[in-house]
């Protein structure tokens, strides 16, 4: 049982980060990646901890918060491999530049970044950087929002069909009920332990609202979800949760 959970933890970190997990048992089959959905919030929490910790450390040494924030974001992007940001850019380009569903999906598969994708990236990085500079306690806030953002990815994954037969999301399949329920519970528990109760509830509601909005948009635009949509969902949910925490102050 423990070996299976460790393998799922490795699958979650292997999928959502670039952190070394080769020392952990690896999943025996592709279905292990779907079963690992419960651990997605843990992967997000670790990436958030790296960013929040960097922000706290640099500001403690005297660097102004506005200058520390880009360094903190850089650490997070390195840790995650900018996976979610790539998904956001591709989603924005496809939804904004395609005239019909096939063309939107074609654009989303193109590795080049267009105007919509570039603008989406700038806005997302600006929002997160601005929030980092404003947070009085960046470490717990980034851990909590990182966990909530990765749990939010389950909303489009569970409520929308795959938009194409191949690709990351189609290959993942649907997580089993236990894993699907455990992820948001784990994220909510982390947020509740690290943040004031009101702030945790507001961050949770904001992340959910951001994920719900993107899910509705993906349904209207391409009739389903892709790996890019899941990545975009994580970024939007994190931006929403961070904005809520800054407003809570």
pTM: 0.94
List phi, psi (to 5°) of 20.
Answer: -70, 120
pLDDT above 80 (res 249): no
pLDDT above 90 (res 40): yes
Q: Looking at the domain assignment, is residue 129 inside a domain?
A: yes
pLDDT above 80 (res 42): yes
Q: Looking at the domain assignment, is residue 128 inside a domain?
A: yes
Q: What domain count does the chain have?
A: 1
Domain that holds residue 237: 43-248
Q: Looking at the domain assignment, is residue 11 inside a domain?
A: no
The tens digit of pLDDT for each residue in 119-178 reads: 999 999 999 999 999 999 999 999 999 999 999 999 999 999 999 877 666 566 788 888
Q: Measuring CA to CA, which residue among 44, 54, 46, 45 is closest to residue 75? A: 54
**Distance between CA 70 and CA 207 in Å, rounded?**
22
Q: Which tokens is 68 given? A: 């520390």
């Amino acid at each position: 049982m423990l070996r299976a959970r460790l393998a799922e933890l490795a699958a979650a970190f292997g999928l959502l980060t670039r952190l070394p997990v080769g020392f952990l048992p690896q999943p025996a089959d592709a279905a292990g990646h779907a079963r690992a959905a419960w651990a997605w919030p843990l992967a997000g929490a670790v990436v958030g901890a790296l960013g929040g910790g960097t922000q706290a450390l640099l500001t403690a040494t005297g660097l102004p918060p506005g200058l520390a924030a880009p360094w903190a974001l850089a650490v997070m992007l390195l840790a995650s491999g900018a996976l979610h940001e790539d998904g956001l850019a591709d989603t924005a380009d496809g939804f904004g530049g395609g005239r019909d569903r096939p063309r939107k999906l074609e654009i989303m598969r193109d590795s080049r970044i267009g105007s919509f994708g570039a603008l989406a990236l700038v806005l997302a990085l600006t929002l997160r950087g601005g929030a980092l500079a404003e947070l009085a306690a960046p470490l717990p806030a980034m851990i909590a929002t990182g966990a909530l953002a990765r749990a939010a990815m389950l909303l489009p994954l569970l409520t929308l069909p795959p938009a194409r037969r191949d690709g990351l999301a189609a290959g993942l399949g649907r997580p089993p009920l236990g894993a699907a329920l455990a992820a948001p519970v784990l994220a909510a528990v982390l947020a509740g332990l690290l943040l004031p109760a009101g702030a945790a509830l507001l961050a949770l509601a904001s992340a959910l609202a951001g994920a719900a909005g993107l899910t509705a948009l993906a349904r209207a635009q391409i009739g389903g979800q892709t790996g890019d949509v899941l990545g975009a969902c994580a970024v939007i949910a994190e931006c929403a949760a961070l904005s809520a925490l800054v407003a809570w102050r």
